[in-house]
């Protein structure tokens, strides 16, 4: 009897054209084209890659960032608009899926930390919004409103995302395990030493493949026409994000990475049969579950787009 086969993932650790949506989407298209030529089935990008992660919220006085926020809001992505056309065309031409982490601007102007899925025909196939922004991120991003905990099916492979510290939410992870995911994408800004072990823990807990993707960004990448940029950012040695991209197999084996201190793309061919093999010993929603003692209810009543 034949197995489930394999699934090739490309995790892109790149530098965005910071707070420049269109230029960054051009970078996205270039990476999608290259990954497609390398045989990828899915290309994954770091947290808020378009138009860039709002790092200044951790460095400036709270709310003293009017021009920074205005630029960020202006350069955010309206998913239903034409902004994603270049990335969609690249996905269709390459015949690959893309999981693009963005700052999404809703029709009302509210910003969400999100992942938009583009399928191999260039169509928008799904959207996930981060449930809770972390700490100072709440100055720019709203709590996610539906769609939440989205699972997409890529040729029989179930894929979902938890963004950065959203992955530390046990019930969010359990909800995705309950939905039967095979691959968990974790676009992040976390550069800490404990992040890699976190990804390994999740891979073993869920017996899933985990793809953690981080950006590479330095002070010299920050536009100097933003007020006070020279005061809070240095040059090439001032790392906003050194990168921490890692791909982990069910059970916790690190397949690729961590990639630290440079741009690059980590590519791995995922042997999908490893999922069932791992769940023979530990299946968190199967034989290792005790629904008579513990049960999870997922509330979908608020899962509506605005």
**Catalytic hit among 104, 130, 166, 204:** 130
**Cα–Cα dist 150/138, whole Å:** 22
**Catalytic hit among 30, 74, 78, 164:** 164
Percent residues over pLDDT 70 in the chain: 97
Cα separation values, 76 from 26, 144, 295, Å = 15, 16, 38
- Residue 215 backbone class (left: φ over 0; alpha: ψ -120 to 50; beta: rest): beta
**Token code pair at residue 212:** 């953690």
Model confidence band, residue 306 (pLDDT cutoffs 50, 70, 90):
very low
Quickly list DSSP for 210-261: EEEEE--EEGGGS-TTSTTHHHH--STT-EEE---EEEE-TTS-EEEEEE-S
Mean pLDDT of all residues belonging to the chain: 96
Domain topology for 6-279 = Nitrilase/N-carbamoyl-D-aminoacid amidohydrolase (3.60.110)
Cα separation values, 58 from 4, 18, 62, 224, 295, Å = 44, 16, 8, 18, 37
* 179 belongs to the catalytic site: no
Q: How far apart are the first and last CA of the chain?
A: 47
Q: What is the pLDDT of residues 23-33, one digit of tens each?
A: 999 999 999 99
How high is the pLDDT of residue 302?
A: 52
Contact 143, 175 (CB under 8 A): no
How high is the pLDDT of residue 301?
A: 62
Residues 130-158 have a mean pLDDT of 97
How high is the pLDDT of residue 300?
A: 74
How high is the pLDDT of residue 1?
A: 47
Cα separation values, 98 from 95, 119, 181, 189, Å = 10, 6, 17, 19
Which pTM was predicted?
0.96
Per-residue exposure over 97-119, b if at least 16 CB sit within 10 Å of its own CB, e if not:
bbbbbbbbbbeeeebbbbbbbbb
pLDDT > 50? residue 9: yes
* 74 belongs to the catalytic site: no
**Cα–Cα dist 215/87, whole Å:** 18
**Cα–Cα dist 273/7, whole Å:** 11
Q: What is the pLDDT of residues 160-199, one digit of tens each?
A: 999 999 999 999 999 999 999 999 999 999 999 999 999 9
Quickly list DSSP for 141-201: -PPP-SS-S-EEEETTEEEEE--GGGGG-HHHHHHHHHTT-SEEEEEE---STTHHHHHHH
Q: What is the pLDDT of residues 197-222, one digit of tens each?
A: 999 999 999 999 999 999 999 999 99
How high is the pLDDT of residue 11?
A: 98
- Angle, CA 261 vertex, CA 13 and CA 88 arms, to 5°: 10
Q: What is the pLDDT of residues 241-272, one digit of tens each?
A: 999 999 999 999 999 999 999 999 999 999 99
Percent residues over pLDDT 90 in the chain: 95
């Amino acid at each position: 009897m034949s197995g489930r086969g394999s699934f090739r993932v490309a995790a892109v650790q790149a530098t965005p054209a910071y707070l420049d949506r269109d230029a960054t989407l051009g970078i996205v298209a270039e990476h999608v084209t290259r990954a497609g030529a390398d045989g990828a089935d899915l290309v994954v990008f770091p947290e808020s890659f378009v138009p860039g992660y709002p790092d200044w919220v951790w460095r400036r006085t709270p709310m003293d960032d009017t021009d920074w926020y205005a630029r960020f809001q202006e350069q955010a992505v309206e998913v239903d608009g034409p902004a994603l056309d270049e990335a969609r065309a690249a996905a269709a031409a390459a015949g690959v899926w893309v999981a693009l982490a963005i700052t999404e601007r809703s029709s009302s102007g509210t910003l969400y930390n999100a992942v938009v899925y583009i399928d191999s025909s260039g169509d928008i196939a799904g959207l996930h919004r981060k449930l809770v922004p972390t700490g100072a991120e709440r100055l720019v991003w709203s709590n996610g409103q539906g769609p939440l905990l989205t699972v997409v099916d890529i040729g029989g492979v179930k894929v979902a995302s938890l963004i950065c510290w959203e992955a530390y939410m046990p019930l969010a992870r359990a909800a995705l395990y309950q939905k039967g995911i095979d691959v968990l994408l974790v676009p992040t800004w976390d550069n800490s030493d404990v992040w890699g072990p976190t990804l390994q823990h999740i891979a073993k807990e869920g017996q899933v493949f985990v793809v953690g993707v981080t950006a590479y960004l330095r002070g010299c990448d920050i536009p100097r026409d933003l007020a006070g940029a020279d005061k809070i950012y240095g040059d090439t040695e001032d790392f906003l994000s050194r990168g921490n991209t890692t791909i982990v197999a069910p059970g916790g084996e690190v397949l690729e990475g961590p990639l630290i201190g440079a741009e690059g793309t980590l590519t791995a061919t995922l042997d999908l049969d490893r999922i069932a093999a791992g769940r023979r010993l530990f299946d968190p929603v199967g034989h290792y579950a005790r629904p008579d003692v513990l049960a999870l209810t997922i509330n979908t009543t608020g899962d509506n787009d605005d």
